[in-house]
Structure 1
């Protein structure tokens, strides 16, 4: 009888310990899914892919579901219809939504890129390029109302060029088809994102002659944003997300283009590794990757100046209305 009791007690303890350990394991493995809708797939967003691939989001207990929604309007529609929790898109989209009188404004909470990401590509090689050489040429630009187009026009005006009078400006080509249009003979010059610009240069289809990012200065070109209601209901998630992003931003700053290219290569299977490395080096050298998630007031005002110059600013919006820096400031402070 004593042996049976002793055995029963031992078995009970084993069961209790097993259940306890299983419970702890379940708690440790519990993750929260965050759905990100990115406006396009671009090496320009390298820190985001680093955060995923280096496990920085996972360290914070977050599982990222990343979807490419191809276009600012589609990205914002996805966010507003609850098809995503977080959108990675240009800050101008949050202004457009606010101007339409949304009851649940879209709030910018973490900046990813801080310059324009496009480059001026010429069909023929240009020695000693001067911006005035663009006059009377056919210029294949970006979609009206988007950041690339607005920054492009802003830079042209800074160099004394009226985009609508001094150029034969083409803006009716869909974003995804612009590279193909240029490759098939449309335009003398084109405004292109990477890695397309570098690929064209390598293949002899065009030549990079200037950077719109260098010319335009700092601007919240691409930021992570979410609906105000989601942020209020998921404060811990927002902090964890921003913390993981900040880790990735620091990692990108501390590592060279070769190391970064190896990490993000799985996201660009159709792009050769040396091209990825070249593009990252180009973006790093011109300071395109934000070094922290804070979208400051000066950048916000610069964005609205660019929008106003392009006659696309519905109304001026105060920085504190659509930007939340408290999360990023808390993360950096800790």
Structure 2
């Protein structure tokens, strides 16, 4: 049965956008710098190449004054974009599919990719020497929000390994994302699906043990991409290209530097996380090629995402790749066209 909650939220966002007059903004903070308001779905080490691009001055080199904010939710990030309170949103590509299916007044286009794999891990209460996905049979998994990409990926991986979600195992979904680690530490569930750095912190404390990677077992996806309204891209093609170029420089820098070097650059963005944990998380993400090496959004990976959404019963309609994805800007950046 398809979940109505996700689609209802996006329908509400579209309705709000029709009622809200987008705030006018001056895209120039001075004669040589353009302001870009970027909203990220959440603040996470998962987006390390972005913070590298910021802290290494790659946006400044492109004449961009980047104003970054966190929405703490894909629906909220999309609301900020649609209502005109953000110029660009970093979120899962599935949000563009939802918006397109609801017939938004201003189409949303994904133009650059940041992560190409799910960033969550399966954490066991007890150490497991040789984990097999069939170990989940008859167990309780503290999972993610119904209809969200992490949960859809989890169920995709379960099916891929011969399990029937919600039948072969119980999936607990009434715990908020921010409380998952605490709930597991308090005794809820036999396994939990966690993002970093919570998974590594639990390992350090001895309250959990990472036994599998959802990203590794699900394959490449347009997991988090940069999106904007179509009319914004058409009005500011050079600015969007410069933005993409800064991100690509961050991607290349991360590819060519060690976990220790990356940790030193992004540490100011994660003052509450120790350097040791940062290094461990970055190494884990680098080892499974979590971060895309370039901003190009792949057609086959997009189709895999639709397949995952369909299996989860969350695909409102089969939105064509060309409807929500644009590659010409990323292609020019990769080819170093002026």
Deviates more, 1:269-278 or 1:165-174: 165-174
Whether 1:299 aligns to 2:301 is yes
Contact 2:88/2:227, CA 8 A, preserved across alignment: yes
In structure 2, distance between residues paired with 1:199 and 1:113: 22
**Aligned position for 2:83:** 81
Is there any run of 5+ residues in structure 2 with no aligned partner, and where?
Answer: 1-27
**Aligned position for 2:151:** 149
Contact 2:29/2:35, CA 8 A, preserved across alignment: no
**Aligned position for 1:181:** 183
- Per the TM alignment, residue 103 of structure 1 is displaced from its structure 2 partner at its CA by 2.1
Contact 2:144/2:177, CA 8 A, preserved across alignment: yes
Contact 2:122/2:193, CA 8 A, preserved across alignment: yes
Q: Which has the higher helix share?
A: 1
Contact 2:41/2:72, CA 8 A, preserved across alignment: yes
**Aligned position for 2:271:** 269
Deviates more, 1:176-185 or 1:142-151: 176-185
Residue 55 (structure 1) aligned to one of 42, 54, 57: 57
Offset from partner CA, 1:207-231 (integer Å, 9 cap, x none)? 0000001000000000010111111
What secondary structure is seen at the aligned counterpart in 1 of 2:210? strand
- Per the TM alignment, residue 177 of structure 1 is displaced from its structure 2 partner at its CA by 1.8
- Per the TM alignment, residue 30 of structure 1 is displaced from its structure 2 partner at its CA by 2.3
In structure 1, distance between residues paired with 2:271 and 2:303: 37
Count matched residues. Answer: 309
Q: CA 1:27–1:213 in structure 2 vs 1: closer, same or farther (change >3 Å)?
A: closer
In structure 2, distance between residues paired with 1:186 and 1:78: 34
What secondary structure is seen at the aligned counterpart in 2 of 1:176? helix
- Per the TM alignment, residue 29 of structure 1 is displaced from its structure 2 partner at its CA by 6.4
Residue 39 (structure 1) aligned to one of 3, 25, 41: 41
**Aligned position for 1:18:** none
Residue 125 (structure 1) aligned to one of 124, 127, 133: 127
Higher-Rg member (1/2): 1
In structure 1, distance between residues paired with 2:113 and 2:178: 24
Residue 106 (structure 2) aligned to one of 80, 104, 111: 104
In structure 2, distance between residues paired with 1:177 and 1:76: 23
What secondary structure is seen at the aligned counterpart in 2 of 1:52? helix
Is there any run of 5+ residues in structure 1 with no aligned partner, and where?
Answer: 1-25
**Aligned position for 1:247:** 249
- Per the TM alignment, residue 47 of structure 1 is displaced from its structure 2 partner at its CA by 0.4
Contact 2:122/2:214, CA 8 A, preserved across alignment: yes
Offset from partner CA, 1:160-207 (integer Å, 9 cap, x none)? 111111111111222222222112211110000011100100011100
- Per the TM alignment, residue 265 of structure 1 is displaced from its structure 2 partner at its CA by 0.5
Q: CA RMSD in A?
A: 1.3
In structure 1, distance between residues paired with 2:285 and 2:252: 15
- Per the TM alignment, residue 82 of structure 1 is displaced from its structure 2 partner at its CA by 1.1
Contact 2:34/2:64, CA 8 A, preserved across alignment: yes
In structure 1, distance between residues paired with 2:145 and 2:95: 14
Whether 1:319 aligns to 2:299 is no
In structure 2, distance between residues paired with 1:131 and 1:188: 13
In structure 1, distance between residues paired with 2:187 and 2:81: 37
Normalised to the residue count of structure 1, the TM-score between the two structures is: 0.90
In structure 2, distance between residues paired with 1:227 and 1:124: 46
The runs of at least 4 aligned residues of structure 1 exceeding 6 Å deviation read 26-29
What secondary structure is seen at the aligned counterpart in 2 of 1:271? coil
In structure 2, distance between residues paired with 1:101 and 1:155: 31
Contact 2:94/2:149, CA 8 A, preserved across alignment: yes
- Per the TM alignment, residue 158 of structure 1 is displaced from its structure 2 partner at its CA by 0.6
